[in-house]
Structure 1
Amino acid sequence: MKESFSQAPMHIVHVPATSANLGAGFDTAGLALDIYNSIAFCEADTLTIELAEPNPSIPLDERNLIYIAAKQTADFARRILPPFYMKQYNNIPMASGMGSSAACIVAGIYIADTLLNLWLSKKQILDIANQIEGHPDNVAPAIYGGLCINQNNGGNVLTLQIPVKGDIACCIAYPDFALSTHEARKALPQQVPMADAVHNLSCMALLTAAFYTQDYSLLSSALTDRLHQPYRKHLLTGYDQVIKEANKLGAYGTCISGAGPSMLSFIKESELSFFTESFSIALREIPGNWIAIPSRINANGAIVEEA
C-alpha cells in the first residue's frame, strides 16, 4: 500500500477547533481556538484513510466527512477528485461543541483545493463550506481565525473577521457526556418574546465592541443570552456550577460552546495556567466528570503545509 503514494508529495492541513454562538451571538458569532485536527494527505492509487488513534465512529471509506467535503468541492469545481491517502490526527473531541464537524469539512475542502490546484480564496472556501455545513458560525473561524461575525443571507455569507488582541484566552470545561447538535436544536422554541430578541441584539453589539476596544470586562454582560442557553442548560449536567466556579476564579464570562456540552470561559491570557489548574480542581466536584482545557485564540485559521 505504501508504494501507491510514496512518490506523491505529502501535505498536512491543520484546522482549528471553534466555539460558536458565544452567548448572545446565536448562529452568528464564532471563535477559533488553539486546538487542531491535522490531516496528512497525498494523491494515491486508491482511497486510503488511517487514524492516528482508532475510533470506530469515524468511517474509513467514502462515508468519511472529510472525503465527502473533498468530493463535493471537486464537484462544485466540475473536476474529478483523484483517490488519495490521508491520516487523521484528531485532537478536537467529537460531539463536544468545539466544531469537530466543521473542522472535517474545512479540511476536506483544503484537501481538494490542494490536490486539484484550485487556488480557492478563503471566501470561496467559506461559500463551499457553508453549502455543506449550513451554518457559517463554525466554519468561518476555522477558515479565517480570530473572532468571526457572520450574516447568512439566503446562502450568501458575509463574514467580518475581528483580530483578537490583548490579555485574553479561553478555558474550555469539557464533560464526559456527548450532546448532539440535533438534540440541542430540538430544545429550542419556535418563537421568543420581543424583549428577549432585543436583549440579544444589545448583547451582540456589546460583544463586538468588547473585542474591538479590548475592554473584555464587557464580556460579563455581553455573553448573557435569552435565545438558546436558557432552553439548553438542562441538557448540561452541572451547568450552573461550572459558571459559578469560573466566576469565582475571575473569568470575564462563560457560555455554552456551540450547541454544547462544552462550556467556554474567557479569561486573562496572563492567568491561563493558574486559572486552568484551579478550574480543574473545582470541576472535580461537579457532576459530569468535567475537565479543563486551556486554549489561546487562533489568529489565522486553517493552513496547509508540505510535510
Structure 2
Amino acid sequence: MSPLRITVPASSANIGPGFDSVGVAVSCFLILDVSEQDRWEIRHKSSHLPTFAEYTDHFIYQIARRTAEYHNKELPACKVLVTSEIPLARGFGSSASAALAGIELANQLCDLNLSDSQKLKYGTEIEGHPDNIAPALFGGLMVTAVSHDDQVEYISVPGPELDLIAYIPETELKTEEARRILPENYSRGQAARASSVGNLMIASLLQGDYQLAGRMIELDSFHEPYRAPYIPNYQIIRREASQLGAYGSAISGAGPTMVSFAPKGYGPRIAKHMTTLLPEYKVMPIKIDSKGLQVERVNLQNTIVAE
C-alpha cells in the first residue's frame, strides 16, 4: 500500500432552525497520514485531540474496525499520524469528522469501494443525525439531510461565497449536556412555527436572499432559546455582528462556539472588532470548505495525487 492522506473538514451544524439537519463544512481539518507497517501505531501531532492509552482505544481505529467487520474484512496493520485543527467540544463536529475518517480509513485499507451514500449512512448511524456528517463528506455552503427508513437523503444548497466568523471560547460544552437542556417534546404550535422558520431559511438561501436567511437563522425556536443562557456572550455576538453587516449569527452545533455569516469581504473587519470586544475568545474568519472528504496517495515520484 502506498502512503495516503485522508483529510476531513470540520462542520458547523444546526444553523439556527436547521436543527439536526443542516450544516456547513468549514476550513478546519482533521488529517490522517497513513503508511503500511507490520504493527498498528497511532500517533497524535496536535493538541486538539483526546488522549488514549492503546491504539485499540482510539475512536478512529474503533470506527475503522467496525466498518471493516461489517464487510467481513480485517484491518491490516498500519501507522497513522493524526493532525487536527478542530477544537474539541466546541461545536465544530470533531466527532463526526473523526467518524468519517475512520470509515474512510477502513474503506482504503480494506478496498471496500464504499459509495458516498454508504459513507453517509454509516456516519449517520454513528452520530445519530446527518447534519455534521453530510457537510464533512460533501463540502458546500449548506448541506440539508434527513435520515428515514434506513436511508439518508441530502441536498447541497448552492450559493456565492460568504465569509464566516467563528467565536471560540475557552469553555467546553459537551453535546450530551447540550442535549439535556432541550425539551423532550414540543407542542404542535411550537413545532409548526419552528419548521416554518426553517423552511423559509432554506427557501431564502435558494433565492439568494441572504438578508432574509440571516433573519430566519436568528428566529430559531428548536434549540437556541434553550441553549442561549449557556452560551457566553450570546446576545452580544449577535448584536455586534449584525451592526457590522453580518447576515446572521448562530450557535455552532451544540455550542459554545458561535458563527456569523457575512457578505464576502466582511470577515476580517468583523473579526478584528470582535477580537477587541471579546479578548478571551479565539475569533477568526473561516472559509466554507467546498471539497469535503479528500483522499490523496503518494506515488513513486513523491507527488500527491487526489482520488
Aligned to 1:4: none
Unaligned runs of 5+ in 2: 299-307
Q: How do 1:240-279 residues align onto structure 2 when only pairs under 5 Å count?
A: 240-279=235-274
**Which is worse superposed, 296-305 or 212-221?**
212-221
Q: Read off the aligned partner of 1:51 and give its amino acid letter.
A: H
The answer to whether 1:297 aligns with 2:288 is yes
The answer to whether 1:15 aligns with 2:8 is yes
- Residues 239-287 of structure 1: CA deviation (Å, up to 9, x unaligned): 1112122112111001100000101110112222222222222222xxx
- Residues 165-216 of structure 1: CA deviation (Å, up to 9, x unaligned): 3241211111000000010000011122333212221221122123222221
Unaligned runs of 5+ in 1: 1-7
After superposition, the Cα gap between the structure-2 partners of 1:179 and 1:114, relative to the gap in structure 1 and judged at 3 Å, is same
**Aligned partners of 1:138, 1:91: CA distance in 2, in Å?**
16
**Aligned partners of 2:102, 2:51: CA distance in 1, in Å?**
14
The answer to whether 1:108 aligns with 2:99 is no
Q: Normalized against structure 1, the TM-score is what?
A: 0.92
- Residues 108-161 of structure 1: CA deviation (Å, up to 9, x unaligned): 111111111112111111111112221111111100111211111143211112
Q: Decide which of 184, 188, 201 is 1:194's aligned counterpart.
A: 188
Q: Supply the RMSD in Å over aligned alpha carbons.
A: 1.6
**Aligned partners of 2:272, 2:125: CA distance in 1, in Å?**
40
**Aligned partners of 2:268, 2:51: CA distance in 1, in Å?**
33
Q: Read off the aligned partner of 1:228 and give its amino acid letter.
A: H
Aligned to 1:237: 232
**Which is worse superposed, 172-181 or 111-120?**
111-120
1:51 deviates by 0.9
Q: Read off the aligned partner of 2:246 and give its amino acid letter.
A: A
Q: Decide which of 166, 174, 198 is 1:172's aligned counterpart.
A: 166
1:56 deviates by 7.5
Aligned to 2:65: 71
Aligned to 1:184: 178
Aligned to 2:304: none
**Aligned partners of 1:211, 1:280: CA distance in 2, in Å?**
29
Q: Read off the aligned partner of 1:12 and give its amino acid letter.
A: R
- Residues 24-83 of structure 1: CA deviation (Å, up to 9, x unaligned): 011111111111111101232111011113568332521211111111110121111112
After superposition, the Cα gap between the structure-2 partners of 1:234 and 1:103, relative to the gap in structure 1 and judged at 3 Å, is same
**Percentage of pairs with the same residue:** 33
4+ residue runs over 6 A deviation: none
Q: How do 1:24-35 residues align onto structure 2 when only pairs under 5 Å count?
A: 24-35=17-28
